[in-house]
Amino acid sequence: MRITRITAWQVDLPLHEGSYKWSGGKSVAVFDSTVVAVETDAGITGFGEVCPLGPAYLPAYAAGVRAGLKELAPELLGEDPTQLGKLNRVMDAALKGHPYVKSAVDVACWDILGKQAGVPVCVLLGGRFGDDFHLYRAISQESPDEMAARVASYRAEGYRRFQLKVGGDPDTDIQRIKAVTAVLQPGDRLIADANTGWLPHEAARVVRAVRDVDVYIEQPCLTYEECLSVRRRTDHPFVLDEVIDGIDVLIRAHGDGAMDVVNLKISKLGGLTKTKQLRDLCITLGIAMTLEDSWGGDIVTAAIAHLAHSTPTEFLFTATDFNSYVTRSIAEGAPKRKTGRLAASVLPGLGITPKFAEFGSPAVDVQ
Protein backbone atom coordinates (compact mmCIF):
# COMPACT_ATOMS: atom_id res chain seq x y z
CA MET A 1 0.00 0.00 0.00
CA ARG A 2 1.27 3.48 -0.86
CA ILE A 3 0.38 7.00 0.24
CA THR A 4 -0.98 8.93 -2.74
CA ARG A 5 -2.29 12.16 -1.19
CA ILE A 6 -2.18 14.09 2.09
CA THR A 7 -4.81 16.76 2.69
CA ALA A 8 -5.38 19.02 5.71
CA TRP A 9 -8.24 21.32 6.71
CA GLN A 10 -8.31 24.07 9.32
CA VAL A 11 -11.34 23.86 11.62
CA ASP A 12 -12.44 26.16 14.47
CA LEU A 13 -13.54 24.59 17.75
CA PRO A 14 -15.45 27.02 20.03
CA LEU A 15 -15.94 26.14 23.70
CA HIS A 16 -19.12 25.52 25.70
CA GLU A 17 -17.64 27.55 28.58
CA GLY A 18 -16.65 30.44 26.29
CA SER A 19 -12.94 30.26 27.10
CA TYR A 20 -10.34 28.02 28.75
CA LYS A 21 -7.86 29.62 31.15
CA TRP A 22 -4.73 28.27 32.77
CA SER A 23 -1.47 29.42 34.38
CA GLY A 24 0.16 32.76 33.68
CA GLY A 25 -3.05 34.37 32.43
CA LYS A 26 -3.06 32.21 29.27
CA SER A 27 -6.40 31.49 27.64
CA VAL A 28 -8.03 30.29 24.42
CA ALA A 29 -11.57 31.13 23.27
CA VAL A 30 -11.72 29.28 19.93
CA PHE A 31 -9.34 26.40 19.29
CA ASP A 32 -7.64 26.22 15.88
CA SER A 33 -7.50 22.54 14.90
CA THR A 34 -6.22 20.73 11.81
CA VAL A 35 -7.84 17.60 10.34
CA VAL A 36 -5.56 15.45 8.20
CA ALA A 37 -6.54 12.82 5.59
CA VAL A 38 -3.98 10.33 4.26
CA GLU A 39 -5.17 8.66 1.02
CA THR A 40 -3.72 5.45 -0.39
CA ASP A 41 -3.63 3.51 -3.66
CA ALA A 42 -5.68 0.78 -1.93
CA GLY A 43 -8.73 3.02 -1.66
CA ILE A 44 -8.34 3.27 2.13
CA THR A 45 -8.11 6.74 3.69
CA GLY A 46 -7.01 7.40 7.27
CA PHE A 47 -7.79 10.45 9.41
CA GLY A 48 -5.98 12.34 12.15
CA GLU A 49 -6.25 15.65 13.98
CA VAL A 50 -3.90 17.92 15.87
CA CYS A 51 -4.85 20.95 17.95
CA PRO A 52 -2.21 22.86 19.96
CA LEU A 53 -3.31 24.54 23.21
CA GLY A 54 -2.69 27.95 21.66
CA PRO A 55 0.84 29.07 20.69
CA ALA A 56 2.19 29.61 24.24
CA TYR A 57 1.73 26.21 25.91
CA LEU A 58 4.11 23.74 24.23
CA PRO A 59 6.51 24.57 21.36
CA ALA A 60 3.66 24.10 18.87
CA TYR A 61 1.21 26.45 17.14
CA ALA A 62 -1.78 25.90 14.90
CA ALA A 63 -0.45 27.53 11.71
CA GLY A 64 2.78 25.59 12.28
CA VAL A 65 0.86 22.33 11.81
CA ARG A 66 -0.16 23.35 8.29
CA ALA A 67 3.24 24.88 7.40
CA GLY A 68 4.98 21.75 8.65
CA LEU A 69 2.67 19.45 6.70
CA LYS A 70 3.46 21.34 3.48
CA GLU A 71 7.13 20.62 4.17
CA LEU A 72 6.66 17.01 5.27
CA ALA A 73 3.88 15.62 3.08
CA PRO A 74 5.82 15.54 -0.25
CA GLU A 75 8.42 13.28 1.43
CA LEU A 76 5.71 10.78 2.41
CA LEU A 77 4.09 10.20 -1.00
CA GLY A 78 4.84 6.64 -2.09
CA GLU A 79 5.55 5.42 1.48
CA ASP A 80 3.65 2.47 2.97
CA PRO A 81 1.35 3.88 5.73
CA THR A 82 0.92 0.46 7.36
CA GLN A 83 4.63 0.14 8.23
CA LEU A 84 4.49 2.60 11.07
CA GLY A 85 7.98 2.25 12.51
CA LYS A 86 9.45 2.78 9.06
CA LEU A 87 7.09 5.66 8.32
CA ASN A 88 8.15 7.42 11.54
CA ARG A 89 11.80 7.01 10.54
CA VAL A 90 11.02 8.65 7.21
CA MET A 91 9.19 11.53 8.94
CA ASP A 92 12.06 12.08 11.41
CA ALA A 93 14.61 12.06 8.60
CA ALA A 94 12.59 14.52 6.51
CA LEU A 95 11.79 17.03 9.31
CA LYS A 96 13.84 17.31 12.48
CA GLY A 97 11.76 17.79 15.62
CA HIS A 98 8.26 19.27 15.31
CA PRO A 99 6.56 16.16 16.74
CA TYR A 100 3.12 17.80 16.67
CA VAL A 101 3.32 18.18 12.88
CA LYS A 102 3.87 14.43 12.51
CA SER A 103 1.23 13.40 15.05
CA ALA A 104 -1.90 13.60 12.87
CA VAL A 105 -0.14 11.79 10.00
CA ASP A 106 0.90 8.98 12.33
CA VAL A 107 -2.62 8.71 13.80
CA ALA A 108 -4.10 8.64 10.26
CA CYS A 109 -1.76 5.77 9.37
CA TRP A 110 -2.90 3.79 12.45
CA ASP A 111 -6.46 4.40 11.18
CA ILE A 112 -5.42 2.97 7.79
CA LEU A 113 -3.75 -0.04 9.41
CA GLY A 114 -6.87 -0.76 11.45
CA LYS A 115 -9.13 -0.45 8.42
CA GLN A 116 -6.88 -2.76 6.41
CA ALA A 117 -6.75 -5.32 9.23
CA GLY A 118 -10.47 -4.94 10.02
CA VAL A 119 -9.86 -4.25 13.71
CA PRO A 120 -10.13 -1.18 15.98
CA VAL A 121 -6.92 0.76 16.68
CA CYS A 122 -7.15 -0.16 20.40
CA VAL A 123 -6.72 -3.83 19.46
CA LEU A 124 -3.59 -2.97 17.44
CA LEU A 125 -2.27 -0.93 20.38
CA GLY A 126 -2.44 -3.88 22.75
CA GLY A 127 -6.05 -4.91 23.35
CA ARG A 128 -9.18 -3.59 24.99
CA PHE A 129 -9.02 -3.48 28.82
CA GLY A 130 -12.44 -3.38 30.48
CA ASP A 131 -15.73 -1.99 29.16
CA ASP A 132 -14.74 1.67 29.44
CA PHE A 133 -12.37 3.96 31.36
CA HIS A 134 -12.25 6.98 33.69
CA LEU A 135 -12.15 10.54 32.40
CA TYR A 136 -11.07 13.66 34.22
CA ARG A 137 -12.55 17.11 33.81
CA ALA A 138 -10.18 20.06 33.48
CA ILE A 139 -11.47 23.03 35.48
CA SER A 140 -10.56 26.33 33.84
CA GLN A 141 -8.81 28.84 36.12
CA GLU A 142 -11.44 31.03 37.80
CA SER A 143 -12.10 32.26 41.35
CA PRO A 144 -12.07 29.55 44.06
CA ASP A 145 -15.87 29.66 44.41
CA GLU A 146 -16.46 29.48 40.66
CA MET A 147 -14.10 26.51 40.34
CA ALA A 148 -15.83 24.73 43.23
CA ALA A 149 -19.21 25.34 41.56
CA ARG A 150 -17.88 23.96 38.26
CA VAL A 151 -16.56 20.85 39.98
CA ALA A 152 -19.93 20.30 41.69
CA SER A 153 -21.68 20.70 38.34
CA TYR A 154 -19.37 18.30 36.47
CA ARG A 155 -19.57 15.89 39.38
CA ALA A 156 -23.34 15.84 38.87
CA GLU A 157 -22.69 14.87 35.22
CA GLY A 158 -20.72 11.84 36.41
CA TYR A 159 -17.07 12.91 36.48
CA ARG A 160 -15.12 11.73 39.52
CA ARG A 161 -11.68 13.11 38.67
CA PHE A 162 -10.97 16.81 38.47
CA GLN A 163 -7.90 18.67 37.32
CA LEU A 164 -7.80 22.22 38.63
CA LYS A 165 -5.96 24.80 36.59
CA VAL A 166 -3.79 26.52 39.21
CA GLY A 167 -0.31 27.97 38.66
CA GLY A 168 -1.50 31.50 39.41
CA ASP A 169 -1.19 33.54 42.61
CA PRO A 170 -0.19 30.95 45.26
CA ASP A 171 -2.54 32.29 47.94
CA THR A 172 -5.49 32.12 45.54
CA ASP A 173 -4.38 28.68 44.38
CA ILE A 174 -4.39 27.44 47.99
CA GLN A 175 -7.97 28.74 48.29
CA ARG A 176 -8.89 27.08 44.97
CA ILE A 177 -7.68 23.67 46.16
CA LYS A 178 -9.44 23.99 49.52
CA ALA A 179 -12.71 25.30 48.04
CA VAL A 180 -12.90 22.43 45.57
CA THR A 181 -11.97 19.84 48.20
CA ALA A 182 -15.04 20.90 50.16
CA VAL A 183 -17.39 19.75 47.36
CA LEU A 184 -15.71 16.37 46.70
CA GLN A 185 -16.91 13.00 47.96
CA PRO A 186 -14.96 9.90 49.05
CA GLY A 187 -13.47 8.17 46.01
CA ASP A 188 -13.11 11.38 43.97
CA ARG A 189 -9.63 12.37 42.86
CA LEU A 190 -8.27 15.89 42.71
CA ILE A 191 -5.27 17.07 40.70
CA ALA A 192 -3.84 20.59 41.03
CA ASP A 193 -2.14 21.27 37.69
CA ALA A 194 0.08 24.38 37.76
CA ASN A 195 1.11 23.93 34.10
CA THR A 196 4.65 25.21 34.91
CA GLY A 197 3.22 28.39 36.47
CA TRP A 198 4.84 28.48 39.94
CA LEU A 199 8.37 29.38 40.90
CA PRO A 200 9.82 26.83 43.34
CA HIS A 201 9.26 29.04 46.41
CA GLU A 202 5.60 29.50 45.41
CA ALA A 203 5.13 25.77 44.87
CA ALA A 204 6.74 25.11 48.25
CA ARG A 205 4.18 27.38 49.95
CA VAL A 206 1.24 25.75 48.17
CA VAL A 207 2.23 22.15 48.91
CA ARG A 208 2.82 23.02 52.57
CA ALA A 209 -0.51 24.84 52.89
CA VAL A 210 -2.45 21.88 51.44
CA ARG A 211 -0.40 19.22 53.23
CA ASP A 212 -3.52 17.60 54.74
CA VAL A 213 -5.52 17.67 51.48
CA ASP A 214 -5.71 14.54 49.31
CA VAL A 215 -4.48 16.19 46.10
CA TYR A 216 -2.05 15.29 43.31
CA ILE A 217 0.41 18.04 42.33
CA GLU A 218 1.01 18.29 38.56
CA GLN A 219 3.95 20.05 36.84
CA PRO A 220 4.41 22.85 39.41
CA CYS A 221 7.34 24.61 37.69
CA LEU A 222 8.89 25.23 34.29
CA THR A 223 11.97 23.02 34.35
CA TYR A 224 12.56 19.39 35.26
CA GLU A 225 15.06 20.40 37.98
CA GLU A 226 12.62 22.84 39.59
CA CYS A 227 9.87 20.19 39.58
CA LEU A 228 12.26 17.68 41.13
CA SER A 229 13.14 20.12 43.93
CA VAL A 230 9.43 20.54 44.73
CA ARG A 231 8.87 16.79 44.54
CA ARG A 232 11.58 16.29 47.15
CA ARG A 233 9.90 18.60 49.66
CA THR A 234 6.36 17.20 49.47
CA ASP A 235 4.71 13.83 50.06
CA HIS A 236 1.77 14.54 47.73
CA PRO A 237 1.48 12.18 44.77
CA PHE A 238 3.21 13.93 41.90
CA VAL A 239 2.51 14.19 38.16
CA LEU A 240 4.94 15.38 35.48
CA ASP A 241 3.56 16.57 32.16
CA GLU A 242 5.15 19.34 30.07
CA VAL A 243 8.76 18.24 30.73
CA ILE A 244 8.10 14.62 29.74
CA ASP A 245 8.54 15.09 26.00
CA GLY A 246 10.48 11.94 25.16
CA ILE A 247 11.87 8.64 26.35
CA ASP A 248 15.20 10.04 27.61
CA VAL A 249 13.60 12.34 30.18
CA LEU A 250 11.09 9.65 31.17
CA ILE A 251 13.93 7.26 32.00
CA ARG A 252 15.81 9.99 33.88
CA ALA A 253 12.68 10.95 35.83
CA HIS A 254 12.01 7.34 36.77
CA GLY A 255 15.61 6.98 37.97
CA ASP A 256 15.27 10.13 40.07
CA GLY A 257 11.90 9.04 41.52
CA ALA A 258 10.64 12.36 40.17
CA MET A 259 6.96 11.42 39.76
CA ASP A 260 4.26 8.86 40.45
CA VAL A 261 2.20 9.59 37.33
CA VAL A 262 3.12 10.99 33.92
CA ASN A 263 0.89 12.84 31.49
CA LEU A 264 1.45 11.60 27.93
CA LYS A 265 0.01 13.76 25.16
CA ILE A 266 -0.17 12.19 21.71
CA SER A 267 0.93 15.27 19.74
CA LYS A 268 3.60 16.26 22.31
CA LEU A 269 5.31 12.95 21.54
CA GLY A 270 4.63 12.84 17.78
CA GLY A 271 1.73 10.41 17.38
CA LEU A 272 0.42 7.06 18.61
CA THR A 273 3.56 5.12 17.58
CA LYS A 274 5.83 7.06 19.93
CA THR A 275 3.21 7.48 22.66
CA LYS A 276 2.72 3.70 22.65
CA GLN A 277 6.46 3.28 23.16
CA LEU A 278 6.41 5.50 26.28
CA ARG A 279 3.08 4.02 27.44
CA ASP A 280 4.45 0.49 27.31
CA LEU A 281 7.66 1.52 29.09
CA CYS A 282 5.58 3.17 31.85
CA ILE A 283 3.67 -0.10 32.33
CA THR A 284 6.95 -1.98 32.71
CA LEU A 285 8.28 0.63 35.16
CA GLY A 286 5.08 0.80 37.24
CA ILE A 287 4.20 4.40 36.35
CA ALA A 288 0.51 5.29 36.02
CA MET A 289 -0.51 7.65 33.23
CA THR A 290 -2.88 10.37 32.16
CA LEU A 291 -3.35 9.73 28.44
CA GLU A 292 -4.57 12.62 26.35
CA ASP A 293 -3.47 15.36 23.96
CA SER A 294 -2.97 19.12 24.11
CA TRP A 295 -6.50 19.75 22.84
CA GLY A 296 -8.75 18.61 20.00
CA GLY A 297 -12.17 17.61 18.77
CA ASP A 298 -13.80 14.32 17.79
CA ILE A 299 -10.79 12.80 16.02
CA VAL A 300 -8.29 13.58 18.79
CA THR A 301 -10.83 12.22 21.29
CA ALA A 302 -11.15 9.00 19.24
CA ALA A 303 -7.36 8.57 19.19
CA ILE A 304 -7.18 9.16 22.97
CA ALA A 305 -9.98 6.62 23.47
CA HIS A 306 -8.11 3.89 21.57
CA LEU A 307 -4.86 4.64 23.43
CA ALA A 308 -6.55 4.76 26.85
CA HIS A 309 -8.75 1.71 26.28
CA SER A 310 -5.69 -0.34 25.27
CA THR A 311 -3.88 0.51 28.52
CA PRO A 312 -4.18 -1.83 31.54
CA THR A 313 -6.84 -0.29 33.79
CA GLU A 314 -4.63 0.03 36.86
CA PHE A 315 -2.07 2.06 34.86
CA LEU A 316 -4.62 4.45 33.38
CA PHE A 317 -4.81 7.24 35.95
CA THR A 318 -7.20 9.16 33.73
CA ALA A 319 -7.92 10.41 30.19
CA THR A 320 -9.73 13.28 28.48
CA ASP A 321 -12.83 13.64 26.27
CA PHE A 322 -12.04 16.95 24.57
CA ASN A 323 -15.01 16.61 22.24
CA SER A 324 -17.36 17.33 25.15
CA TYR A 325 -15.60 20.66 25.84
CA VAL A 326 -16.19 22.05 22.35
CA THR A 327 -19.46 23.08 20.71
CA ARG A 328 -18.69 21.64 17.29
CA SER A 329 -18.67 18.00 16.15
CA ILE A 330 -16.22 17.39 13.28
CA ALA A 331 -16.67 13.64 12.80
CA GLU A 332 -19.37 10.97 12.86
CA GLY A 333 -18.81 7.97 15.11
CA ALA A 334 -16.69 9.73 17.74
CA PRO A 335 -16.81 8.32 21.29
CA LYS A 336 -19.21 10.10 23.64
CA ARG A 337 -18.85 10.38 27.40
CA LYS A 338 -21.30 8.48 29.60
CA THR A 339 -21.31 9.35 33.32
CA GLY A 340 -17.67 10.42 33.34
CA ARG A 341 -16.46 7.43 31.36
CA LEU A 342 -15.56 6.75 27.71
CA ALA A 343 -15.04 3.73 25.44
CA ALA A 344 -13.21 3.33 22.13
CA SER A 345 -15.16 2.47 18.97
CA VAL A 346 -15.53 -1.19 18.01
CA LEU A 347 -15.32 -0.33 14.28
CA PRO A 348 -12.12 -0.90 12.25
CA GLY A 349 -9.48 1.84 12.58
CA LEU A 350 -10.41 4.88 14.66
CA GLY A 351 -14.09 4.33 13.82
CA ILE A 352 -14.78 7.94 12.80
CA THR A 353 -15.72 9.72 9.56
CA PRO A 354 -14.89 13.46 9.30
CA LYS A 355 -17.68 15.85 8.26
CA PHE A 356 -15.80 17.10 5.19
CA ALA A 357 -18.84 18.87 3.77
CA GLU A 358 -18.49 21.42 6.61
CA PHE A 359 -14.74 22.03 6.27
CA GLY A 360 -14.44 24.17 3.13
CA SER A 361 -11.28 24.18 1.01
CA PRO A 362 -8.21 22.31 2.27
CA ALA A 363 -5.26 24.32 3.64
CA VAL A 364 -2.81 21.64 2.49
CA ASP A 365 -3.21 19.34 -0.52
CA VAL A 366 -0.17 17.33 -1.59
CA GLN A 367 -0.53 14.60 -4.22
- The set of catalytic residues is 165, 265
Instruction: Supply the DSSP symbol for 349.
Output: B
| Least CB distance to Mg ion at residue 190 (A) | 14
Cβ 6 to Mg ion, closest distance in Å? 30
Using only C-alpha atoms, the chain has a radius of gyration, in whole angstroms, of 20
Min dist. Cβ of residue 351 to Mg ion (A): 27
Segment lying near Mg ion (by CB under 5 A), choices 111-119, 138-146, 149-157, 235-243: 235-243
CB closer to Mg ion, 84 vs 227: 227
Q: Which of 32, 106, 173, 241 binds Mg ion (CB under 5 A)?
A: 241
Task: Tell me how far apart the alpha carbons of residues 311 and 151 are, in angstroms, rounded to a whole number.
Answer: 27
| 139 within 8 A of 163, measured Cβ to Cβ | yes
DSSP letter assigned to residue 59? S
Identify the three-state secondary structure at position 2: coil
Q: With contacts defined by CB under 5 A, name the span among 105-113, 144-152, 173-181, 237-245 that binds Mg ion.
A: 237-245
Q: Output the CA torsion 200→202→205→206 (10° steps).
A: -100
- Give 34 or 219: the residue with its C-beta nearer to Mg ion: 219
Kindly indicate which of the ranges 16-24, 98-106, 233-241, 280-288 contains the residues binding Mg ion, using the contact rule CB under 5 A.
233-241
**Closest residue to Mg ion, Cβ-based?**
241
| Interacting positions 248-277 with Mg ion (CB under 5 A) | 263
**Residue (123 or 135) nearer to Mg ion, CB:** 135
**Spatial distance between the Cα atoms of 112 and 152, rounded to a whole number of angstroms:** 41
Least Å from the CB of residue 268 to Mg ion:
10
Nearer to Mg ion, 110 or 136 (CB): 136
| Stretch binding Mg ion (CB under 5 A), from 38-46, 128-136, 240-248, 278-286 | 240-248
Contacts of 315 (CB under 8 A, 6+ apart): 282, 283, 287, 288, 289
Alpha carbon of residue 116 to chain centroid: 26
Spatial CB neighbours of 244, under 8 Å, sequence gap ≥ 6: 250, 253, 262, 263, 264, 278
Q: Which of 111, 173, 193, 293 touches Mg ion by CB under 5 A?
A: 193
61-69, 70-78, 193-201, 247-255 -> range binding Mg ion (CB under 5 A): 193-201
- Closer CB to Mg ion, residue 132 or residue 292? 292
What is 87-112 written as a DSSP string?
HHHHHHHHS-S-HHHHHHHHHHHHHH
Identify the three-state secondary structure at position 40: strand
Regarding 245 and contact with Mg ion (CB under 5 A), the answer is: no
CB 140 within 8 A of CB 165: yes
- Looking at the Cβ atoms of 111 and 293, the one nearer to Mg ion is 293
> Total binding residues for Mg ion by CB under 5 A?
3
How many CB atoms are closer than 10 A to CB 201? Answer: 9
Q: C-alpha angle 141/142/145, rounded to 5°?
A: 130
Report, in Å, the least distance between residue 195 CB and Mg ion: 6
Residues of this chain that bind Mg ion (CB under 5 A): 193, 241, 263
